[in-house]
Amino acid sequence: MSFYKKLEASWASSKSLVCVGLDPDLQRIRKCLPETDRPFEAFGMAIIDATAEHACAFKPQFAHYAAAGRLNELKTTIDYLRDRHPDKLIILDYKRGDIGSTAAYYAREGYEVYGADAVTLNPYMGGDTLEPFAAYEDKGAFVLCKTSNPGSDELQGLELASGGPLYLHVARRAAESWNACRNLGLVVGATYPEELAKVRAEAPDLPILVPGIGAQGGDLAATLAAGANAQGTGLLINSSRGILYAEEGPGFAAAAAKAAEALKLEIQACLQA
């Protein structure tokens, strides 16, 4: 199944735009779970089972596992997710970007070692560095466009001599010349709804992964107004900390389920408004 078809199917079966970000943090997990050798795996599995009903996708964040020396738990968490919830899209958020010969190794890391359906990529090195990822016909990649952090305007907002800011140039390329294999999406932060509307105008058909809801303070209603398509899809609204740590205690999984459901319902309400 092609990446876009898989994504459409995950929206359809879940009736949700919620993407649950897996950003495990050992100190917080310790308040939630009894001591175990594999806390990231145990926490991830519990969160996945609790929230899957309300989510179209999960986005494990590489650095959180890598910094803790727990990449084997990243792998077993993804294996569990694929096995138990095969209709959910798995996005490995690792933001790679390197020359073509090395990019092929990164594609292998994301798609084969971890078995992700999609990854996040940094476009600074140019379109040739994205090509090795397009060679995987059933896989996808979300290209960083306008990111959610406070300083993202510093380069992404630079006005080009040809007109318009850098991030819109990236959006255009991702919608056209870079997307020959029809497997790209974009990343635009919920903290920048006006910019999201401009990106949507440049790339009407691309799926957009939207981080920045919750801890980062993004505006959900404005995000949906700016980025959702006529079918009420086109977006993956990511929440990580707001779901994972809705309660830091033994009731964490039930609280996460509630938070994911609340976000799903809030999105539905906004779309119907």
In the complex, minimum distance from the CB of residue 166 to a copy of itself, in angstroms, rounded to a whole number: 7
Q: Burial code of 72-110, b = ≥16 C-beta within 10 A, e = fewer? A: ebbbbbbeebeeebeebbbbbbbbbbeeeeebeebbebb
State how beta strands 118-121 and 57-60 pair. Answer: unpaired
Site for a copy of itself (CB under 8 A): which residue of 34, 35, 37, 69? 69
Question: Tokens representing 1?
Answer: 């199944």
- Residue 91 has, within 13 A of its CA and on its CB side, a CA count of 36
262 binds a copy of itself (CB under 8 A): no
CB 147, CB 200: distance < 8 Å: no
Under rule CB under 8 A, which residues in 188-247 are in contact with a copy of itself?
216
Largest CA distance in the chain: 58
59 binds a copy of itself (CB under 8 A): no
CB 44, CB 24: distance < 8 Å: yes
- What whole-number distance in Å separates Cα of residue 243 and Cα of residue 213? 10
108 binds a copy of itself (CB under 8 A): yes
Under rule CB under 8 A, which residues in 73-102 are in contact with a copy of itself?
95-100, 102
26 binds a copy of itself (CB under 8 A): no
For the question of residue 5 being annotated catalytic, the response is no
Annotated catalytic residue within 15, 95, 139, 146: 95
Site for a copy of itself (CB under 8 A): which residue of 35, 83, 159, 272? 159
Give the residue with the Cβ less far from a copy of itself, 83 or 159: 159
Would you please indicate which residues are annotated as catalytic (active-site) residues? 95
Residues near a copy of itself (CB under 8 A): 23, 61, 63-64, 66-67, 69, 71, 95-100, 102-103, 105-106, 108-109, 112-113, 122-129, 144, 147-156, 158-162, 166, 169-170, 173, 216
